[in-house]
Amino acid sequence: MSELAYKVEDIEPAEKDEAAETFVAPLPRISIQAFCATGDVANELQTMAEDRRLSRAHVSVQTGGFDAAIKHYQSAPTPNLLLLELINGPEAMVEELTRLAEVCDSGTKVVVIGHVNDVVLYRDLIGRGVSEYLVAPVMTMQVIQAIGGLYADPEAEPVGRVLAFVGAKGGVGSSTIAHNTAWVIANAFATDAIIADFDLPFGTAALDFNQDPAMSVADAVYAPERLDDVLLDRLLAKCTDNLSLFAAPGNLNREYDLDPKAYDRILDIVRAGVPAVILDLPHQWTGWVKNILMSADEIVITAEPDLANLRNAKNLFELVKQGRPSDKPPRVVLNKVGVPKRPEISPKDFGEALHTSAAAVIGFDPQLFGSAANNGQMIQEMAANAKPNEAFMEIAKMLTGRVEVHRKRASLLAPLMGKLNLKKS
Ligand SMILES: Nc1ncnc2c1ncn2[C@@H]1O[C@H](COP(=O)(O)OP(=O)(O)OP(=O)(O)O)[C@@H](O)[C@H]1O
Ligand SMILES: [Mg+2]
């Protein structure tokens, strides 16, 4: 394996790691009911109800504030989580919460959204058993984070981020970019990562990493109820210390018309084990591809600079953006730019049509990419100084919220020091 162009110590978490700050793991299957008193709060909570992180929870948002809530719960059980907007001053608020306590089941967590910004009141409410007090106006993401905090189990393993890669057309290089980015995340950032190749019949991740695993994603999707950490370990092929591969079978022995829930379950188990799951999606538009794409933490759309790619990328981009108003929009990567004699749409025009600028632009280099693919190597292994490595680094940094710092010269001595230490012992 050739020297890495960048070393682990070159990279540090960004001072302000936005990706980590806004990361909220999917909420469990809880019931959440909200009673709002103002239109603004109702709008934000309505957006929250449709957010991907709450897709498993049963959420209802109603108006009428405290009066409607108390009337409702006199005859109905309270949910796992009650969000209540109270518009009165501190004294009335305390009185209302005392009345609410009479109808509230003991297991219910209560989050209050109020209009009084006062730390004494905050402490008083928390002392009375309110789980969280938020001051209006509230933003959707702020409420999601507050709720996420209530259900994050400090004992639990951190939940990994799902980074989904999809092509705007077939063959645009989405898988190549996914694999090379995963390589950077695992080797340059020293972050444990798994590539999950969900292109079951045609996926190339195993070929690209020169692996021939006996088991694959198919073994898990056909028996999702059997899948646990132990089985997952056996299904994974190790590419490097930090990078494992959950390969596609890559054959046509079966038709892969599977229950969409099987894919969800696999992702849940995989993401519980590592901080980064690189999801290589096929260029298809089925229910499960759409669901998985919409529920991913980050999405990278790879496109070539032509009209069909532009139309498809725009459709994908807008659908995702509309369906996930509280998330960052997908990243768009332009690949195979500069094919000789091919008329192309410029990155600038492509970006303008999508109202975003490309996260990375990668040139057409059939010799480099072709040799890497045929050798079962990453671009970094083939040619550490090749230009596309900068793009993979850029994409990896964007998706994980890392920044590069100056290289430490001391690392040059590390192999020598290692040898000396060995001799001493
Ligand atoms: N920048 C590039 N220059 C030249 N060739 C490239 C470039 N990027 C990828 N390729 C080549 O393009 C081919 C298709 O790449 P890849 O399989 O990654 O695309 P894909 O979008 O995942 O395709 P599919 O739709 O089959 O999943 C591969 O042979 C790959 O080596
Ligand atoms: Mg692919």
Which residues does ligand 1 sit against, CB inside 6 Å? 167, 170-176, 199, 202, 204, 282-283, 335-336, 362, 364-366, 369-370, 373
Ligand 1 atom closest to residue 169's alpha carbon, by position in its atom list: 25
* Amino acid 3: pLDDT: 43
Find the mean pLDDT for residues 181-207. Answer: 94
* Amino acid 192: pLDDT: 87
Q: Is the dihedral of CA 278, 283, 287, 288 positive or negative?
A: negative
Here the tokens at position 261 are 């829930």
List the 81-86 sheet strands across, edge first: 58-63, 31-36, 81-86, 109-114, 132-135
Find the mean pLDDT for residues 16-28. Answer: 69
**Residue to mutate (ligand 1; options 165, 166, 175, 176; most atoms within 8 A of CB):** 176
Q: How many whole angstroms from 175 Cα to the centroid of ligand 1?
A: 7
Q: Which amino acid is at 357?
A: S
Instruction: Pick the range with the lowest mean pLDDT from 214-223, 245-254, 311-320, 354-363.
Output: 214-223
Find the mean pLDDT for residues 119-142. Answer: 95
Q: Is the pTM of this model over 0.75?
A: yes
Cβ count within 10 A of residue 62: 14
List the 276-280 sheet strands across, edge first: 237-238, 243-246, 193-197, 276-280, 161-167, 298-303, 331-337, 360-363
**Higher-confidence position of 423 and 318:** 318
Atom 6 in ligand 1: which residue has the minimum CA distance? 369
Atom 28 in ligand 1: which residue has the minimum CA distance? 173
Q: Which ligand is nearest to the CA of 207?
A: 1
Q: Which ligand is nearest to the CA of 372?
A: 1
Tell me: pLDDT of 2 over 60. no
Residue 256: alpha-carbon gap to chain centroid: 25
Instruction: Pick the range with the lowest mean pLDDT from 106-115, 301-310, 415-424.
Output: 415-424
Cβ-proximal residues to 413 (8 Å cutoff; 6+ apart), any chain: none
